[in-house]
Amino acid sequence: MSDSKPAAAPTNKAPAPAAKRPTSSTSLAPLAKYKLVFLGDQSVGKTSIITRFMYDNFDRHYQATIGIDFLSKTMYLEDRTVRLQLWDTAGQERFRSLIPSYIRDSSVAVVVYDVSNRSSFLNTAKWVEDVRAERGNDVVICLVGNKTDLGNDKRQVSTEEGEERATKDGLLFMECSAKAGYNVKSLFRKLATALPGTADAANGNGANANANSANLVDIKLSAAPANIDEAKSCGC
Ligand SMILES: Nc1nc2c(ncn2[C@@H]2O[C@H](COP(=O)(O)OP(=O)(O)OP(=O)(O)O)[C@@H](O)[C@H]2O)c(=O)[nH]1
Ligand SMILES: [Mg+2]
């Protein structure tokens, strides 16, 4: 039995010199960081999408984001590992002046609307305009219709209309439900796939670079089939 092996006797031997230990310079390579900013009207579900992705849970009680929240997550993709820095902005009008500097510093903008609220969809034009004004075409923009769980009777924006709008404006498109956990992981996989190949721009030292590292949370995503979250039932 393996536990019959005698315990190692205490020794006064000095540890092997560091120079003789195996080293791997590649393991010290910095992780590519990408900044993603979440935009959209009040209450469309920006925080809920992020919370579903980070912690796989959902809170049906609305707690408005005050100012800007920051979270970070490491994603293990097939060919590389990336750290996503998620900037969750407040949809409330009174915080609007804070947002441009976060857009300026992000390589991805996620513009969210509520499929049961037509005006939130129409207002995405303004959010996309704000992103283009700060970043031109040097940015990935994804249009996201949230709250698909509400069903067709509550819907005010069809999937086709959302898709059409995204195609016309050169945006990625996805519908999801933070509540049901539908398409949320797929959304982040889509965003990760669309990230620029180099992290240089995203590693810049702009207005957002001084985020408190105490807020960083690394969660390992296990490899999952593309549609794993689509079949998940609502756990709320
Ligand atoms: N039915 C349904 N409700 C949702 C969904 N996502 C969010 N909600 C609810 O919508 C409300 C607003 O969600 P939040 O995630 O706080 O919205 P937000 O966009 O972050 O709002 P601000 O921080 O004010 O900009 C909350 O009551 C959520 O529970 C969803 O997918 N389906
Ligand atoms: Mg919020």
Residue 154 belongs to some domain of the structure: yes
* Side chain identity at residue 205, one-letter code: N
Residue 7 belongs to some domain of the structure: no
Residue 220's φ and ψ, nearest 5 degrees, are: -80, 125
* Side chain identity at residue 7, one-letter code: A
Q: Is the CB of 91 under 6 A from ligand 1?
A: yes
Residue 5 belongs to some domain of the structure: no
Q: How many of the other CB atoms lie within 10 Å of CB of 101?
A: 14
CA of 48 to the centre of ligand 1 (A): 5
Q: How many domains does the chain have?
A: 1
Ordered DSSP codes for 45-106: SHHHHHHHHHHS----S-----SEEEEEEEEE-SS-EEEEEEEEE--SGGGGGGHHHHHHT-
User: What residues make up the domain containing 95?
Assistant: 33-194
Q: Which pLDDT score, from 0 to 100, does residue 206 have? A: 33
Q: Which pLDDT score, from 0 to 100, does residue 77 have? A: 86
Residue 205 belongs to some domain of the structure: no
Q: Is the CB of 145 under 6 A from ligand 1?
A: no
Residue 119 belongs to some domain of the structure: yes
CA of 52 to the centre of ligand 1 (A): 11
Query: Which residue did the predictor score with more confidence, 26 or 219?
Result: 26
Q: What is the pLDDT of residues 121-178, one digit of tens each?
A: 999 999 999 999 999 999 999 999 999 999 999 999 999 999 999 999 999 999 999 9
Q: Which pLDDT score, from 0 to 100, does residue 27 have? A: 57
> What is the model's pTM?
0.78
Residue 163 belongs to some domain of the structure: yes
Q: Is the CB of 95 under 6 A from ligand 1?
A: no
Neighbours of ion ligand 2 (CB under 5 A): 46-47, 65
Residue 220 belongs to some domain of the structure: no
Residue 14 belongs to some domain of the structure: no
Q: What is the CATH number of the domain that holds 55?
A: 3.40.50.300
Q: Is the CB of 46 under 6 A from ligand 1?
A: yes
